[in-house]
Amino acid sequence: MAAENNSSSAQATDSALPTALRLLASVFAREADQPLLDQFIARRDELTDVLGRDPLGALTADNALEALAVEYCHLFIGPKGHLPPVESIVLGEGQLWGPSTEAVVEFYERCGIASRSDERTFPDHISMELDCLAMLEETDRHAEAGNFAHLHLLRWLPGLLAHVQANASLAFYPAWLEGLQATLADEYPQTDK
């Protein structure tokens, strides 16, 4: 892997987790944009190595952008048969901005974190919760990050993954979600184990 063969400094390795979390947040925040997709295509082998399978599958540079946009909409936005990747919905609260969302916001506040003023994504959106983990890891608050992961993201990620695996027409989102789940499980193991 090119990155590993690089003179990969200890500093780079230390920042790998928060950066990885941000990459994962970027994958789920919205549809892949052209720069992100260009990198994925250019580094396809490395990506396959990272995730254990090729997330781009049969996608090509010509069709990937459109296909992933349609896939993202189908899985996460709707308007039919989708599952918004937000905690309150996946946990079955039946509404956006439910009790889970409030709990997430309260956690952010206790940690000195808030949504950016121009950000219109829900606080309990998967990308926001990953961003929270990244921010905590960047400031060496691994224990708080673990607490947050277990209180929130790890509780509902299996449900989201099951939906995506059952409804995806492309490998992209299942592959990334599987990678995400494995990452979180490794980084934030249950403390009673």
Instruction: Looking at residues 7 to 46 of the shown chain, list those that interact with another protein (rule: CB under 8 A).
Output: 8, 12-13, 15-26, 29-31, 35-36, 39, 42-43, 46
58/182 with CB nearer another protein:
182
55-63, 98-106, 145-153 -> range binding another protein (CB under 8 A) = 98-106
- Cα–Cα distance between 21 and 135 in angstroms, integer? 9
Q: Which residues pair with 86 in a beta bridge?
A: 125
Report if residue 6 touches another protein, rule: CB under 8 A: yes
- Cα–Cα distance between 173 and 154 in angstroms, integer? 17
- Cα–Cα distance between 142 and 121 in angstroms, integer? 25
The backbone region for 184, taken as left when phi is positive above 0, alpha when psi lies in -120 to 50, beta otherwise, is: alpha
Residue 16 exposure: Cα atoms within 13 Å on the Cβ side? 12
191: which 2 tokens? 């403390």
55-63, 124-132, 146-154 -> range binding another protein (CB under 8 A) = 124-132
Report if residue 54 touches another protein, rule: CB under 8 A: no
Q: Least distance to another protein from the beta carbon of 28, Å?
A: 8
- Cα–Cα distance between 126 and 141 in angstroms, integer? 20
Local structure of residue 99 (DSSP, 8 states): H
Site string for another protein, 136-155 (x = CB under 8 A): --------------------
- Cα–Cα distance between 180 and 128 in angstroms, integer? 14
Residue of the chain from 119, 142, 147, 151 that contacts another protein (CB under 8 A): 119
60/116 with CB nearer another protein:
116
- Cα–Cα distance between 54 and 21 in angstroms, integer? 19
- Give how many residues touch another protein by CB under 8 A: 106
Q: Least distance to another protein from the beta carbon of 187, Å?
A: 6
Report if residue 47 touches another protein, rule: CB under 8 A: yes
Q: Which of residues 162-181 bind another protein (CB under 8 A)?
A: 162-163, 165-166, 174, 178-181
54-62, 79-87, 145-153 -> range binding another protein (CB under 8 A) = 79-87
Coil, strand or helix at 86? strand
